[in-house]
Each structure stands twice: as structure tokens, then as C-alpha cells.
Chain A
Amino acid sequence: MGSAASDMGMTITEKILALASGRQRVSAGDVVVAKVDRVMMHDVGAPGVWDVFQELKSRGVDVSRLFNPGMIWMTEDHFVPPPDPKSAENVRLMEQMADMYGIKEYYRFGLGTYGVCHTLAYEEALVLPGQVYVGTDSHTVTSGALGAFATGMGHTDVAYILLNGKNWFRVPETILFRLNGRLRDGVMGKDVILRILGDIGADGANYMAMEFAGDGVRAMPLEDRMTVTNMTVEAGAKNGIMAPDEQVIEYYREKGKSGFPALSSDGDAEYRDVHDYDLGRLEPMVAKPHSPANAAELSEVEGLEVDEAYLGSCTGGKYYDMVQAARILRKANRKAKTRFVVVPSTTNVYRRMLREGLLDVFLDAGAVVGPPTCGACIGGHMGVLGPDEVAVSSTNRNFPGRMGHRTSKVYLASPATVAASALEGRITDPRRILGGGN
């Protein structure tokens, strides 16, 4: 199928789905059965997959062997360390599944490297450009920043893939976002995607691919690009994607991975819509309660008092995020004025923070630094909000009750903004502390 890449007029998303379904070409709207290269399960999805298997077994289906155990990787991230016995049972269930099916790539809390699945997928180079990657988490779209077709599915669909190695896909239409220029100091990938979400709305890309291109993308560090693709699902997108550039290829080379197809969209590919953004003019943004698409420039809510500043999650707990936040704290060199919760998204991030003195920076500011977990981001554990509490958070969702009580309010913002706001106890433009052009 090497010829697929030379066909004219396809987007990168179409090219990947064409390759995976053994076709010369596909177009938006086609329904194809595509082979899946990689599957991720975490402690929220795996128990559901297990239940599907048990039901199939009771119907006489053989579920004793998987299509290819090597395609699967697992991590525990949502309810770990377990806050209650039921969560602990789910971890036991995952151990059992790993044993039974011979799943080798299994990242376990308390046993070395583990963490929030989307950050781990990047750090451990578990997903390659050009692959079809499906996970039991909607933010699986994150890995599109590395050039994969990455999408979230429920546990029935994932169970199907585990047994059959493939699933059906409707080829999405693509909206192209051309990002030009460079972000100013104190402005981050989170601000980019909040701006876009505000412009297109919470269902602005429903069933579609959101593709990002332009020199603005190339100027962004990979981890910041991942924040952009991560939140494409907040516009309903099936996948977010960026063609792998030299930075991506070099990253994989360092990890000892090469030989993947570095696909990109053709110049005459068909897009449903094209949007241009000048990153050099972008202001820090927030998403006001209760939708990630309820975006506003930070200046609109500047000074609003918060009860908690939360720095963590797949859009705010990566190494790059921590470095940006710590820079602000170092510059200010004083204590936070509000409850400050810092959760590195993986043990890799945690270790680097320790080595490079970042943990001290956060502790000196008065923060509590937790172990890697999705806990508070989903209102699960490790710092959930009480009635009417207000948080500024580097996470990716602020639905009603998302981080705790249903009357609590979450303002989504960049890691830089969260750090600045922690220091002031109110929503604060990070550039005020960095001393840049504001």
C-alpha cells in the first residue's frame, strides 16, 4: 500500500485510515474496517472490557485468547493509589487480565514507571506516527500531536478490537487550523486550544478531524502541542492531528524508534473549513464554567478570587508544564495565597522535578505535591472541590461537578496562569509576574 501516500488530495487522517484499511484512497464519509495498531486500557476502561468478555463467554464466544496481546498497553491512572476498596479491586482485575492474556506493557502504580496514560504514551514512545491508536479514554486524541490517528472509544469497541484487531471507522471530514507565528512568553498551548474552542464551540468539530499545521506548530515544544490535540475532543472531534515534523522524528530516533511512515496532508487535500491563527497575537485565555468552549481572554476575569489552584493532568502535569509554572514561582519567590495542588502526570515527570529542583520550588511556594493520578481532574479523589468552591485549573474539563460538588466552579487555564493565580489567590495574567509585555 505504499502507493497510498503518493495519491493526491488526501489529508493525513485519510492517508492513515487508507493504509490501515488496505485501500488506495479513502474520502471523508466512507465507512471502512481498519486494522488497529495500538490499544490502551486504563483502570476505568479495562474492567468494562472484562465485563464484555464475561458476557461473550456466557454466550459461548471464545475469549481465552486475544488477537494480539502485543498491541495492548495498560496503565493505572484514574483511581490510583486506590481511594477505596472498589478501585483496588479494579487494579487486581487488571493484574489478572495482564497475566491471563500475556499483556507485557503494563505500567503499574507503586511498581516503577506509571502515570496519566496520555503523557506516558508520549514519554515511553508507545504510539508511533502513522499508527491507528485507540484508547478507553476520550483524551486519547492527545497522541495525534505525534502524527498518529488517535481516538477514544468505549469498552465494547475496545473489547471488539482486542478480539479482532480491527473496528469500523467513518472517515472524518477535516478542519484545518493554520497556526502562524510564535507564542509570546507566558502564553501556552492551552491558550491556543481554548481560543479555538471558544471560536468553534463545544460541538464545532463533532465527528471530524482537527488538523493543525503551520510554522506556529513547528515552533511549539511537543508537550505543548499535545495540550492542543488533547482538547480537540472538547469540540467533539474524532481526532486531532499534526503531521510529524523533524522534532517528532528526532524524538522517536532518540527513543530508538524509526521506520514509520512520516505522512502529511497533500497540498490539494480537501478540508471542510480552514482557520488561520496568528499565535504572536494570542492572549492568555480561560474557559469559564461550565464548558471548555466557554472561553474568554484572561483579562475578562482577571482578579477573580479562587479557593484552589490545580496544576496537573494530561494538559497541565507534563514536564514542560511544570517547568513553565516553576519559572513563574521562582521569579516571584514567595508563597502561594491559595490552596495549591500540584500533581505531576507521571513518575518520569516527578523524577525530573526532583532532580532539577522543581519539587523544592513548588514546596517552597506552599504547594502539596501528589503522586501521579487523574484523581482530582475527574472529581474522584486527591483534592476535589466542595460546594460553591472556585478553582483555576490546568485540566481539560470544567463541566458541572467535574472536579467535585456540582455547585463548584472550574476556570480552565494554562499551567503558567495557574501558577501565577496560585501566587495571587486570584486569576492572574502570568505576564504580570514574568514582567513581559503586559
Chain B
Amino acid sequence: MSPLRGRVHKLGDNVDTDQIIPAPYLKDLSPQNLAAHVLEGADPSFPKRIKPGDLIVGGWNFGSGSSREHAPMALRYAGVRAVLALSFARIFYRNAVDGGHVIPVVITEEAYRGINDGDEVEVDLESSVVRNLRTGTQYRIEKFPSIIAKIVEAGGIFSVGDLSRLED
């Protein structure tokens, strides 16, 4: 997978699924609807500010809350290909990966501190680094557990083929 490059929107800890896509919009799964309200619960100006190719940087426990897959879908339809965070809530992470929506990348506290809102970064999954192109600083990112790597590479659980090859 070639490196992803994008401008960063930086958020804090515990960005929950209600902030990513508030429940009143769950009725309509269309890309237009979900993209039009992405992260609106965190900041009503978000849907206008976010551009295809942008990346999200979050703190601890990104995606906590609901099992609504609408959350990673909303990010995907807004053109976000990866979310970088200190940690992810379980269901969001699984939905992001199994649905093939966005790539959840676990970063270090040093990286979180060193990447600011509006910075341009490059995420290289092959070499497990993220580079802040503004400062030139490079940070290690956590490698995917092998099963997750296989699903991310395939582009979702339905593209992975026989599931039993994921077992330990």
C-alpha cells in the first residue's frame, strides 16, 4: 500500500460515535447524508472544513460508544482514508477494518504532541512510520496485529476469503 498523504484535523480524547455522526442522521445511509454531517457533533463547521484526502488525528479512545458503522462510513464518504489516534474503542476499530472504511492507525503520545491541526503528514504502513511534513519529524506507528493487517490489506472482511486462515 503506497503512503497516504494528507492534511490533519486534530481532535482530543474520547471522540465518540455520537460526535462522529449524530443519531438523527442514522436513518439515511447514503454517502451524501453521512458525509454532510461527519463530525458535526464535535464541531458543526466540520463537514464544510473537511476535504477529500484529509486525515484525522485523535487522542485516547477514538470512536467510543455505539456500534453504528455509520461512523467510519461517514469519515470514508467525506474522503478520509485514515484516522490516527492514541487508542481506539473496540467497535469503531473493528467496523473501520472489517467494513474496509478507514484505516485506524495507533500512534504514540510523542506523535500526538508533535502533529498539529493543519499539518501535512505522510502515513507509511509498510515501514510503520508517520512523518510530519511540516516539521520533518518522523514517528513510529504501531504495527497491525497479523489478522488486522490481512483484513486491511484485503479491504474488508468480505474480501478476505476463508476466515479460518485468520486464526492463530
Contacts and interface: CB of A to CB of B under 8 A. Distances in A.
Nearest to A397: B65
A157 B98 contact: yes
Contact of A31 (B14, B22, B64, B167): B167
Contacts of A251: none
Contacts of A69: none
Given A154-B69, A166-B163, A202 B157 contact: no
The interface residues of chain B, by DSSP majority, are classed as loop
B167 A44 contact: no
A220 interface: no
Contact of A399 (B16, B28, B29, B87): B16
Nearest to B90: A207
B99 A31 contact: no
B24 interface: yes
Contact of A138 (B27, B67, B70): B67
A154 B22 contact: no
A400 B158 CA distance: 34
For chain A, the bracket of interface size reads 35 or more
B65 A156 contact: no
Interface string B150-168: 0000001110000110111
Contacts of A45: 67
Interface in B43-85: 44, 60-61, 64-70, 72
A207 B89 CA distance: 8
B23 interface: yes
A379 interface: yes
A138 B94 CA distance: 12
A79 B22 contact: no
Contacts of A302: none
Interface stretch (A84-92, A123-131, A179-187): A84-92
B147 interface: yes
B163 A32 contact: no
Interface string B11-50: 0001010110011101111000000000001101000000
A164 interface: yes
Interface in A261-303: 291
B163 A157 contact: no
Contacts of A52: 158
A168 interface: yes
Contacts of A79: 27
A203 B29 contact: no
A47 to B, nearest CB: 6
B18 A47 contact: no
Contact of A160 (B18, B98, B167): B98
Interface centre among B44, B90, B163 (most CB of A within 10 A): B90
A399 B65 contact: yes
Contacts of A366: none
Chain A CB within 10 A, most for which of B61, B145, B166: B61
Contacts of A136: 67
A48 B166 CA distance: 25
Contacts of B22: 379, 401
Given A168-B163, A202-B61, A138 B66 contact: yes
A31 B166 contact: yes
A30 B147 CA distance: 11
Contacts of B158: 52, 56, 61, 156, 159-160
A236 interface: yes
B168 A30 contact: yes
B28 A86 contact: yes
A164 B98 CA distance: 15
B29 A47 contact: yes
A236 B24 contact: no
A188 to B, nearest CB: 23
Contact of B98 (A31, A44, A154, A236): A154
A31 B147 contact: yes
A337 to B, nearest CB: 29
A236 B90 contact: yes
B29 A51 contact: yes
A236 B64 contact: yes
A213 interface: no
What are the 6 A-B residue pairs with the smallest beta carbon separation, nearest first? A154-B69, A154-B95, A378-B23, A152-B67, A156-B99, A203-B61
29 contacts: A31-B166, A48-B69, A52-B158, A78-B26, A87-B27, A136-B67, A138-B65, A140-B67, A153-B67, A153-B91, A156-B69, A156-B95, A156-B99, A156-B156, A167-B157, A168-B147, A168-B157, A202-B14, A202-B64, A203-B61, A236-B61, A236-B89, A378-B23, A378-B26, A379-B18, A397-B18, A399-B19, A400-B18, A402-B23
Interface of B: 14, 16, 18-19, 22-24, 26-29, 41-42, 44, 60-61, 64-70, 72, 87, 89-91, 94-95, 98-100, 145, 147, 156-158, 163-164, 166-168
